[in-house]
Structure 1
Amino acid sequence: MGTPRDTREDQAQEVIDRLYEEYPDTTISLDFSNRLELLVAVVLSAQCTDERVNEVTEELFDKYRTADDYANADEAELAADIYGITFHNNKAGYLKSTGQRLVAEHGGEVPDTMSALTDLSGVGRKTANVVLQHGHDVVEGIVVDTHVRRLSRRLGLTTEETPERIEQDLMGVVPEDDWQQFTHLFISHGRAVCDARNPSCDECVLEDVCPSSKLDHDVDLASGEAW
C-alpha cells in the first residue's frame, strides 16, 4: 500500500517548497534557440547526458537548420555528425524520419499537440512534454526522467514504476502550476545531492521528510525506494 493521497499531497507541497528555495533558478539545461533545435536536442538526450548533447549540437545546429535539412540528410553522414551520442546510428534515423514527417505533414514546423509529437520517430510522451512545455508553453503533464522517477519513489510520492504511471500518479498530487518546474527541481536535486547509488542524505534539505533517508530514520520501503 502506498501513502494516502492527502498525505502525499502534503508531502509533495513540502518537497516543492523546499526545492524552490534550494534551486530558485533551475530550468532546462539543453541549449536551443528554436522549436526544431529543442526537439532534436531532446531526442538526442535519451540515455545521454545533456552536457554531451550540448557539445554535439553546437556544430550540428549550424549544419542542419531546417526540417528539410534533416529530411534530405544522408543518414550515415548524420550519424557521423552526432557521433558520441548514445545510439547515434538509431537517432540519426529518428532525426531523418522526423524531418521527413515534419515537412510532409506540418509544413516543416514542430507540431503543438501531444498526439502529433508522439507520432514522430523517437518521440515518446516524455520528449513530447518537454517540447510542449519549452517550445509551445503548453503544460499537459509532468516530464518523468530518471531523476524524477528515482526521487519521487524515494520521497514516497509514488509507488509506481513506469514513467507513464508515475506521471499520472504525480499529476494527482503535484499542483498543476508546478508541473513544469517540478521536473527541473528534481533533476537539479538528483544531480547535486540525491545520487542514484550514493545519495548525500546528510546534505539533503529533504532528509527529515524523506522516508528513504539513510540516516537514523525508519525506512518505509512501501513508499520509498530500497537502496
Structure 2
Amino acid sequence: MTTTLISGANKGLGYETARRLIGEGHTVWIGARDETRGRAAADALGARFVQLDVTDDTSVDAAVTTLTEAGGLDVLINNAGIAGPYVDALDQTAADAERVFGTNVIGIVRLTRAFAPLLSASDAPTIVNVTSGLGSFGAVHDSSRIESTIIAPLYTASKSAVTMLTVQYAKALPEFRINAADPGYTATDLNGHSGPQSVTEGTDAVVELATRNGSGPTGTFIDRSGVAPF
C-alpha cells in the first residue's frame, strides 16, 4: 500500500488529488494548517489528517513524528501555496515577498529536508512539487498562452524557484523520483475560480507523477499534456 502526504490538501487541487489517489489505492494523509477544515476534508474523503503548517518547523517536525509512528511515507506532494497580494507590481513589498516565498519555496525546502529520511525507507521514494506554467520562461514569452498575459512578480518568481528546486533535489537525491507538475489554469480559490480547467483536469499531472511507483524520469517538469517548456 502506498502512503502519500499532501500539503495544503483541505481544498482545491490538494483535495482533488487526495480523492483521486485514494481511488488509486493510496493511503492519503491530508496536511492542513487548520485542524477543523483539515479533519473535515479527511473525514469526507476517507483519508487521514495531520496538522501541517509548511512555514513552521515545529508543526512539520510533529507531522514527521506522526507519519513515522503510523508506518512511513512513500510519496510527498508539496502542494501548499499562496498567491500573494493582488496589487500592482510596485505595490508588492518585501514583506509580501517573504510571505509568498516562505510558503511556496521555503515550505518545500522545509518539508523535503524533514521527510527525506522517512521517504528513504520506501522502496519508491517520490516527491511531487506543484509548480506553475507562470514560472516558465517558455510559457510567459509565448503570446498564444494565457501565462503571457499575467503580471504577478512574486507568485511567478516563486514558481520558477520551485521548478529549479525540483531539478536540484533530483540531482542531489538520485534514488528518489522528484518531479514538478504544472496544473494549468484551473478554477480554484487561488484565482477566484476563473480558470477554464476543472480541478480534475488540473490534477492530471500531479496524479500521473504520484502513481509511477518509482519508475520514470526524475527532475522533469510536466503538465497534463506531457513534458512542459521551461
- TM-score per shorter chain, which class? under 0.3
**What's the TM-score once normalised by structure 2's chain length?**
0.25
Structure possessing the higher radius of gyration over alpha carbons? 1
**What's the TM-score once normalised by structure 1's chain length?**
0.26
Which structure's relative contact order is higher, taking Cα pairs within 8 Å and 6+ residues apart? 1
**Greater helix proportion:** 1
